[in-house]
Each structure stands twice: as C-alpha cells, then as structure tokens.
Structure 1
Amino acid sequence: MTDSTQTATTGTASAPTSASFGKTSDGTEVQLYSLTNAHGLKVNITNYGGTITSLLVPDKAGKLGDVVLGFDNVSGYQSPEFLKSGPYFGALIGRYGNRIAKGKFTLDGKEYTLAKNNGENTLHGGKKGFDKVVWQAQPGSSADGQTLTLTYLSKDGEEGYPGNLTVKVVYTLTSDDALKIDYSATTDKATPVNLTNHAYFNLGLGQTKDILGHEVTIAADRYNVVDAGLIPTGELRPVKGTPFDFTTPHTIGERIGQVPGGYDHNWALSQTSGLHTAAAVYEPTSGRTMTVQTTEPGLQFYTGNFLDGTLKGKGGTVYGKHAGFCMETQHFPDSPNQPKFPTTLLKPGQTLQSTTIYTFGVRQ
C-alpha cells in the first residue's frame, strides 16, 4: 500500500504545497504555503508574519473567489505605503493584539515601557510585532485537513515585553470548509499575551466595491466604550438601542454613519466559555456566508475605515475605504491596565490555548 493510499484511507489530507513568496527587505526568502480541501477551497499563507494572503471559497453559483485583502508577494507587505498606513492585512498579531494605553503597564510592581506606534499608545505588539517576523513553518495534515504549523520565539524584552514567549499557531483548512486557527503559548516570565489574526474579509470581493452591504450578526449585548485614541474607558455599554446592536442581522452600512469614524470596537461576547459562536456574516450578491466561532471573550469588529485607496493589492485591486472588514477574536484592549477586564496574563507553567474557526458556506 502506498503512502498516498494510506492517507486516503485514514481520511487525512496530503500536505500543503509551497512556493517562494519573494525576499524580505533584509534578504530573507519567505515561502507561500497553499492548503486545499476536497471542495476546492484554498488558503495561501506566508511564513512572513503568518499572513493569510488569499482565501478562495465558492459563491452560490459554485464559482471560487478570493475573499480576503492582500498582496501578490512579500514586497507588498513591506512597502512604505503599507507600513505607513499599517492595515496588518491577514497577519498574525502579537505579543499583544489591539491597544495598550500610553505604551506602558505595571506587573508585579514593575513598570514596563513598550514601543509606541499608534499615537501615544502601543498597537498590535509594537513597531515590530509578530506580523513582521519570519515564522518557522511546518506543513502537514491531520484528520481534519491540511495544516500549517508556525512557531516563533519572542525573546525576553522584545518590544518591551517581559519573558521568552514561545508561540505556536496551527492553521487547518478543514474538510467542512472552515479555516481553523489554534494558538498556544508558554513563557518563562509573567507577561501579557493577546493573540489574534487580522484578516480583512470581503465575501463579495470582485462583485462589490465595499463591505457595506454585508449583513452582520454579533453574539454580544455589550461593547467597550472607547476614548478618542480607541482606548477603552472601562465602561461596557449595552448595545440595545444603539448602532452597535448586531444581536439581529443588520447591514454594515445601515448605521455606520452614526458611529464617528466607523466601527472599530470590541464587543464583549455573551458566551465566554468553551468554543462559542461570535458572529455570522452574509453577503447577498455572492450568497457567501461566514460564521466565526472562538474560545475568546471578545471580538474586534473593524470596517476598514482607514483604507483610502493608496494601497493596490492582488491583481492591481485598489483598496478604498471599507474595502474589507475584520473580525479579530481577542481579549479586550488595554487589559493589562484594566483589572476588571478578563486577564491576559500568562505565567510560567501555564499554557495559553485559544481557538478561532471561520466557516464558509452559501445561501441561495
């Protein structure tokens, strides 16, 4: 019996393929890994930043289309325009996703100072977060489908954070049309950790110029009120009667004008234990649907408010305002400075484990 026959009989998929994705600005060659399933779904992920560069899923006519924003090679993710605007297309985010106020926090009586890269605050891990490092990559397969395992050692003091943090992220493209992301991490010193992925989705990409017609449901009845710098004030406000109420489906564009700057907020998910549904999205033109499940307590829903048409992506596509939306599963922003929020502290001897699943389908 050949290996391929054994693979078929155990129900596991053959390993992903890889190709060069170009060289980084310091001359490091990086790879692009392609995971596929039996239904034709395909996700491309580069070990530069653990970045999802494309995700092909069928529409209601069965036609495959790319539903994420990104670039054709690594140089797009390192261009001056991209680095200046900082949209973090598709990247793994760490050591701390979202914002930490004034770039500092106190832990065990010691104040730690972080790199400020978002006004007076720290955003998405600092000036060189996990989105800008080259991860060790291992393609493989599991009973669920093809996998890509990425590992990275964030050294003690990197970007100002304490502790040597060993991070492992496993991407799986499953046989039931889901992209599953399993995060795990260990540390040798107590440190705050908040890992997420920053994919920008547009389920009608190529058919719709923006995401304002997408219908969104979010399983949360409270959200974090933020100040002008998008730092939580500490108040968790009920969504009822506000433009933040997505407990029933609403299009993104329906009430976005009532939210200064657009949606870029953390919703406190109603269920916080185990794997739970965080959100559902439907795009009427393509018929595509996406469901988000997570073990995390929060969801940052962002509507591409800062995209302004200066970035040209795959195939020369211009990414204008609201060209994509993000659903970043996470702990709350600024948790190290807000003791009432669920803790993001990881201690030696503990293992952080977190799972998020994006499942795709169609509605006729």
Structure 2
Amino acid sequence: MKIKEKDISGKWNEYMLTNDQGMAVSILNYGGIITKIMVPDRNGNLENVVIGYKNYQNYEQNPNYFGALIGRVAGRIAGASFVLDGEAYHLETNDGRNHLHGGSHGFHQVIWHTAPFQTEDTVGLKLTHQSADGEGNYPGNVKVTVTYTLNNYNQLTIDYAASTDKATPLTLTNHSYFNLSGNLKNTIEEHHLAIDSRKFVELDQELIPTGRLVDSTGTLFDFRDGRVLGEGLQRHSEKNHVVLGGYDHYFIFDHKKENSVLLRDTENGRRLTVKTNQPGMIMYTANDLEEGIPLTEGISRKHLGVCFETQGSPASLHHDGLSSIILKPEEDYSKQTLFSFDVEE
C-alpha cells in the first residue's frame, strides 16, 4: 500500500493511492476529482477504467463533471428554486432555467483540504470543505467530509459525511464515467448491466423529473435480470428519446440484493459492483458528450462512459413519494458507496 503525491502546475495536488494488487486510484484536491482508476483484466493487464482529460487545465471548467464530487445538491433542481420552512430560495440557473449540480461554483470547483492516510490494509484520502451559509444561495453553514479508501480487495469506498447549523438540501455524489473496456478502447454499448431496481423517475423535455414513478417491467429500463446497455442506447423509446438516446434517469433501488449495480465487460472479464446505502442513483450514459475532446486515452465520443451517481433525488424538493434530501441541524449526513472491481473467467 502506498500514496504518491504530485504537484499539478503549482495549483493542485494529485494523490495516487495504490494497493498491493497494483490497483491505483488518482484523485485531485481540486473538486475531489478521480482522474484515473487502474484495474486488471482477466489477463492481469492494468488499464484505466474512467474518463479523464488529457490536459489537466480542462478540469478548471469541466462541463462534463468528469470524476468530480458534486454538491451541495447533485442533479437538477426544477426552476432553480425550492421552498423550505416557508422560505423561498432562488439558485443559479446554470442549466437553462434550472439549477444543475450545485451551480457553476459547486463542490466540483472547490480546492478541498486533504489528509492522506494509510493503515495496514488500506490507503486513502480524506477531503474536507466548509460551505458557508448563503454559498450558492443555499442556507446553512455546512461542514463536509468525503473519504476515499482503497483496500487490498480492489474495493474503493467513498464515505460522505456532513453537518449543518440550518436546515438545507444536501445530496452528494461522485460523477465518474466508467468504461471497463480499458483505456477507452470501446464505448459502453457492449457492457452488460444489472440494476436492483424496478422503478425509475420520468423526465420531461427539460430533463426535469415529473415526480411520476414508472414501473420498468418489460421496458428498456428493466435491468433486474441484466441486459446489454446498447439495447437502450440504440432502441429509442419515448422515455430515453428525451435524453438524446440513452439514460439520464433516477433509478430507485429495491435493496433486495447485496449489490445495487453489476457492470461487466464480457470480452476482458472486468466487473464492477456498486453497493450503497443511498435510495437510488442517476444513471447517465454520456448521451451528449461532446466529440473531439483530448482524453487520457483517445478522443471523447458519445456513450464512452456510464455514470452511477448514487444519491437522493432533488425531485423530492417538489414532489412527494421520494426520499427527502433535507439535512437538519440535529442530524448527521452519512452515506457510503462501495465500488468493487474483480474479474470473471
């Protein structure tokens, strides 16, 4: 187990966490961004399985949110406003007339305070940030801690903890784009995916949740028994046509299985499982990823990665029937997502 720290242009630091199996995770203190995850295939070849920019300066804007920590609220808030305890709050409109991923100066653009750590069988990085009352027009002084921990079983755990002195919306996530083909050799269309979910939230033409929960049975959104992702990327229904062909929807977990997500590349044997105590996730399949961006391996193109944004749904601010994302002063925000990598023969 080891940690290596590297200076990036005199502005940021990148920390590479490496376990005894050779798996390595690289993280910036800027935005808490995961820039690389190196894992083996069935033949032991170590390759990167997330999308990252070739030029680090591109992370300063990062309109695709590659690898970033997202907050205060991950996802879209309709009309860039909400009412809490009888008071209306108006946020930045950075996605049409709506609010996206905490605004243009959200947690993805924060330089986090970092503290690397190492134990006998883990290596990790603790990131902390104090978000002031009124920052981004959100209420409350919020203290946030995000901890990345890598163990010798090729498991990356992300622990999210937060507290506030005033009731406020809060739901955090990581926005990594996964691609198990290794070094972005292929798109995700041939990846096989299973999700422990039978309901998803409908979207309108602005990609805003309508609040209607849809039973996925018999549709392209039913991944309970597993299916090839390309089926939903190539065969458009009304529900995925609205997101330019693919998925950008909130899936509600049934929590009937140990793992909420299982992603496989049958060609090279890589597998990714996701286990979380979050109520659901937004799955985004890079439907509108701009083509031609220089990446660490190759050039960007549509459907080059899939995001599993485990989180609560911002739609709960306007609709009943979804888990609340309001954090109160007497509560502690404590969420965890575990990404496990292995291979099948």
Superposition deviation, residue 235 in structure 1: 1.1
Describe the superposition over 1:262-300 as per-residue Cα deviations: whole angstroms up to 9, x where unpaired. 11101000029xx95210000122210000000000111
Q: Distance in 2 between matches of 1:172 and 1:331?
A: 22
* Match 2:117 to one of 130, 137, 140: 140
1:212-227 to structure 2, matched below 5 A, reads 212-227=189-204
Unaligned stretches of 5+ residues in structure 1? 1-12, 24-28
* Match 2:88 to one of 95, 111, 120: 111
1:82-121 to structure 2, matched below 5 A, reads 82=62, 86-121=63-98
- Other-structure match for 2:165: 188
Task: Check if 1:322 corresponds to 2:303.
Answer: yes
Q: Distance in 2 between matches of 1:185 and 1:283?
A: 35
Describe the superposition over 1:220-265 as per-residue Cα deviations: whole angstroms up to 9, x where unpaired. 0100011111111111111101100000111110232322121110
Q: Distance in 1 between matches of 2:320 and 2:160?
A: 24
- Other-structure match for 1:21: 8
- Other-structure match for 1:264: 248
Contact 1:231 1:333 in 2 (8 A): no
**2:291 aligned partner, one-letter code:** G
**1:353 aligned partner, one-letter code:** S
Superposition deviation, residue 74 in structure 1: 3.1
Q: Distance in 2 between matches of 1:21 and 1:73?
A: 11
Residues 105/143 of structure 1: CA separation in 2 closer, same or farther (3 Å cut): farther
Superposition deviation, residue 143 in structure 1: 5.3
Residues 143/296 of structure 1: CA separation in 2 closer, same or farther (3 Å cut): farther
Q: Distance in 1 between matches of 2:249 and 2:337?
A: 18
Contact 1:276 1:294 in 2 (8 A): no
Residues 128/276 of structure 1: CA separation in 2 closer, same or farther (3 Å cut): farther
Task: Check if 1:348 corresponds to 2:329.
Answer: yes
**1:203 aligned partner, one-letter code:** L
Total equivalences in the alignment: 338
Contact 1:181 1:356 in 2 (8 A): yes
- Segment drifting more, 249-258 vs 346-355: 249-258
- Other-structure match for 2:15: 33
Contact 2:27 2:36 in 1 (8 A): yes
Q: Distance in 2 between matches of 1:360 and 1:304?
A: 21
Q: Distance in 1 between matches of 2:247 and 2:324?
A: 24
- Other-structure match for 2:231: 254
Could you list the structure 1 runs, at least 4 aligned residues long, displaced by more than 2 angstroms after superposition: 71-74, 205-209
Superposition deviation, residue 103 in structure 1: 0.3
Using the size of structure 1 for normalisation, the TM-score is 0.90
Superposition deviation, residue 340 in structure 1: 2.6
- Other-structure match for 2:128: 151
Describe the superposition over 1:40-65 as per-residue Cα deviations: whole angstroms up to 9, x where unpaired. 00000000000000000000100100
Q: Distance in 2 between matches of 1:269 and 1:355?
A: 14
Q: Distance in 1 between matches of 2:261 and 2:131?
A: 31
Q: Please give the root-mean-square deviation of Cα atoms over the aligned residues, in Å.
A: 1.5
* Identity over aligned pairs, percent: 40
**1:358 aligned partner, one-letter code:** F
- Other-structure match for 1:299: 281
Superposition deviation, residue 154 in structure 1: 0.9
| SS, match of residue 254 in structure 1 | helix
Describe the superposition over 1:107-135 as per-residue Cα deviations: whole angstroms up to 9, x where unpaired. 01000000111111111101111001100
Contact 1:116 1:127 in 2 (8 A): no
Superposition deviation, residue 306 in structure 1: 1.1
Superposition deviation, residue 205 in structure 1: 3.0
| SS, match of residue 75 in structure 1 | helix
Superposition deviation, residue 332 in structure 1: 1.4
1:274-313 to structure 2, matched below 5 A, reads 276-313=258-295
Q: Distance in 2 between matches of 1:148 and 1:188?
A: 26
| SS, match of residue 76 in structure 1 | helix
* Match 1:357 to one of 330, 338, 345: 338
Describe the superposition over 1:332-359 as per-residue Cα deviations: whole angstroms up to 9, x where unpaired. 1322222331111111121100000000
- Segment drifting more, 50-59 vs 69-78: 69-78
Using the size of structure 2 for normalisation, the TM-score is 0.95
**1:290 aligned partner, one-letter code:** L
